[in-house]
Amino acid sequence: MPKKIPLRVCTGCGEAKPKKELIRILRTPEGEVVVDATGKKNGRGAYICCRAECFRKARKSKALERSLKVEIPQELLDTLEKELVSLESGNAKNI
């Protein structure tokens, strides 16, 4: 029997993809919003594709804020977008 691959839905585009292909954005129990590179930190998570376009869609529709159930300041959204863009360009180099 083949091993089951966990799927998660991107908050930007709404596509279901394998968990390892997505980036987890996390609201910690203290209320901080951070990028969870390991995917194992404790807290409420939302998943997003490695594409900046998906992040922009989620940002515009406030989908991340709804998923994480917290208001995210604009400065933090800018920082998260920069991190995702750097991860996106890093992934492109590895392919």
**pTM for this one?**
0.82
What is the per-residue pLDDT across 3-14, written as a single tens digit (0 to 9) for each? 899 999 999 999
Helix (H, G, I), strand (E, B) or coil at 28: coil
Helix axes 52-60, 74-94, angle to 10 degrees: 160
Q: How confident is the model at residue 28 (pLDDT cuts 50, 70, 90)?
A: very high
The domain tally of the chain equals 1
The reported pLDDT for the residue numbered 94 is 40
Q: Is the pLDDT of residue 95 over 50?
A: no
Residue 1 is assigned to a structural domain of this protein:
no
Burial string for 74-93 (b: 16+ CB within 10 Å, else e) reads eeebeebeebbeeebeeeee
Distance CA 2, CA 21 (A): 19
Helix (H, G, I), strand (E, B) or coil at 63: helix
The enclosing domain of 62 has a CATH number of: 3.30.1230.10
Residue 87 is assigned to a structural domain of this protein:
yes
What is the per-residue pLDDT across 41-75, written as a single tens digit (0 to 9) for each? 999 999 999 888 898 999 999 999 999 999 988 99
Q: Nearest CA to 32 among 49, 50, 47, 44?
A: 44
Quick count: other Cβ atoms within 10 Å of Cβ 60? Answer: 9
The domain in which residue 53 lies consists of: 7-94
